[in-house]
Chain A
Amino acid sequence: MKDGLVVLDEVSYSYNPDRPVLRRCCFQLDADERVGLLGTNGSGKTTVLKMIVGLLKPDSGRVRIFGKLCRTERDFREVRRRVGFLFQDSDDQLFCPTVAEDVAFGPLNMGKSREEARQIVSRTLSLLGLPRFEDRITYKLSGGEKRLVALAAVLAMQPEVLLLDEPTAGLDDAAAQRVVDVLEELPQAMVIATHDPRLLDSPVNRLLRLSGGRLVAESDGDGAIGHLQLQTKP
């Protein structure tokens, strides 16, 4: 089997032994793919995303990222530099006092110099249409601005893959549309956990539904089903 960017191979996970969230679940993300992840609340969408960056370790099964088997925290450190994760609640993500510091946080952790970090900050903010946001105080931003700044913070690390957990949840129409527009323009392969039909419409080119602890192909109504790979093993 050709290795995708991200491969989950029969992973199982449970927060509570009586109710497993994932049961021998399989998933593969290839380059240029934008996968929409559907599923009811509590079906395990966030769990899948967290597993990809090693925030949760599978009870069984294998996680391969960029063709490398990842088991330990050390393996995942490298992964987290190359896979960006946008959290559902931007308040969890934006913890620095100012926008500039928050966006620079990742690049500085990656060993960039202050000067480089500053350039990355202004480049990323203007890419997302947030000019002159550098000195804004993160906790005073509106919900939509927070989401975009959090996205900027993730993009500042120049990830190759994006994991987005409900990127439009809790935003008003205009703000949500702005996030959708931004995502459409991004070149990265992504996995988007969402309920928002706007996102399923255009950024996403493959739909999966998480049900009973497994991922199954979901028809998105315009023929994309032919593009689907089988995601569950019997």
Chain B
Amino acid sequence: MSNVIENAGSYGASLAPTNGWCLNGVDPRTRLIAAFCFSMVVTALSSPTTLVAALGIAVVGAGWTGALTEQRWKRLIPINLLVLLLLGLLPLGGGATPVLSIGPITVAREGLVQAVLIGLKANAIVLGVLVLLARLEMASIGHALGTLGVPAKLTHLLLFTVRYLGVLQREYGRLRAAMKVRGFRPGVDWHTYRSFGYLVGMLLLRSVDRADRIVMAMKCRGFYDRFHPLDRAALTARDAWFTAIVLLVLAGLTVLEWA
């Protein structure tokens, strides 16, 4: 849990776009839709050639836009660990064309191909989405989702989570530090389980209290169940160009797959 909470602080410092980056002028809504369409199309692909092409496009996109920092590249690691696991397991599931047999274990070609395809798909999608959504604040994503018609409850949940994760993290940090200075060292015993239980319980209670206070503060400023967004940006020519490029790429992939 602490990992999730600690990562909350890493979203950028300002909503103002960083200058000199080619996807800057493109509306978050357009980028979200593009990311969604790209994922859908790649999911439907099955020929290795097209998948390699899709991954290639994502890599080129990453290089061209310069969107991916070292930290973002690292996000590919967990998904590839999963792919490695599949690569180890799927070929053992049996198939028509054995490539290798050692004693009772048979490595099948079908499984191997399947695992490679999944690997290609997963990497293309994750990389593509990272490129398309890179440098977007969670806040802009939340607003964009809202204007795209995602139910308000869900977008509020997202926005409030982003806002209060850091606060919860500090609260967790304080409680944890208070435990440490009184000599608490986690071990494998009931004392540890109970103490962590108290910690989580206390965190929950405080969150509920905080939620109450937030509602009070919102009421004090005249909030009664309706949000009025401050920004309502219009789509520009850049969005049109961007959409055209994305459509071209997706059409190319589709043709390559089924032609």
Contacts and interface: CB of A to CB of B under 8 A. Distances in A.
Contacts of A140: 13
Interface in B129-184: 137-139, 142, 159-160, 162-164, 166-167
A138 B163 contact: yes
A55 B137 contact: no
B191 interface: no
Interface stretch (A21-29, A62-70, A99-107): A99-107
A224 B259 CA distance: 90
Contacts of A92: 210, 213-214, 216-217
A135 interface: yes
Nearest to A80: B220
B64 interface: no
Interface string A65-97: 000000000000100110011010101110111
B230 interface: yes
A109 B230 contact: no
Interface residues of B, number: 35
A85 B217 CA distance: 8
B222 A106 contact: yes
A154 B221 contact: yes
Contacts of A135: 14-16
B232 to A, nearest CB: 7
A137 B15 contact: yes
Contact of B162 (A55, A77, A97): A97
A97 B230 contact: no
Contacts of B75: none
Most buried by A among B14, B210, B226, B232: B14
Contact of B219 (A80, A100, A118): A80
A137 B138 CA distance: 11
Contacts of B162: 97
A114 interface: yes
A76 to B, nearest CB: 9
A195 B162 CA distance: 33
Interface string A108-125: 111000100110000000
Contact of B15 (A77, A97, A104, A108): A97
Most buried by A among B137, B217, B226, B229: B217
A136 B15 CA distance: 7
Nearest to B156: A95
Interface residues of A, number: 37
A136 B232 contact: no
B190 interface: no
A69 B151 CA distance: 39
A157 interface: yes
A59 to B, nearest CB: 19
A50 interface: yes
Contacts of A89: 213
Contacts of A104: 230
Interface in A137-164: 137-140, 153-154, 157
Given A118-B230, A139-B166, A55 B14 contact: no
Contacts of B11: 137
B223 interface: yes
A53 interface: yes
B147 to A, nearest CB: 14
A77 B224 contact: yes
Interface of B: 11-16, 137-139, 142, 159-160, 162-164, 166-167, 210, 213-214, 216-224, 226, 228-232
Interface of A: 50, 53, 55, 77, 80-81, 84-85, 87, 89, 91-93, 95-98, 100-101, 104-106, 108-110, 114, 117-118, 135-140, 153-154, 157
24 contacts: A55-B220, A80-B221, A80-B222, A84-B220, A85-B217, A87-B213, A89-B213, A92-B210, A92-B213, A95-B163, A96-B163, A97-B138, A97-B139, A98-B15, A101-B229, A101-B230, A117-B230, A135-B14, A135-B16, A136-B14, A137-B15, A138-B163, A139-B163, A154-B220
7 tightest CB-CB pairs across the interface, nearest first? Answer: A97-B139, A109-B222, A108-B228, A106-B221, A92-B213, A135-B16, A93-B217
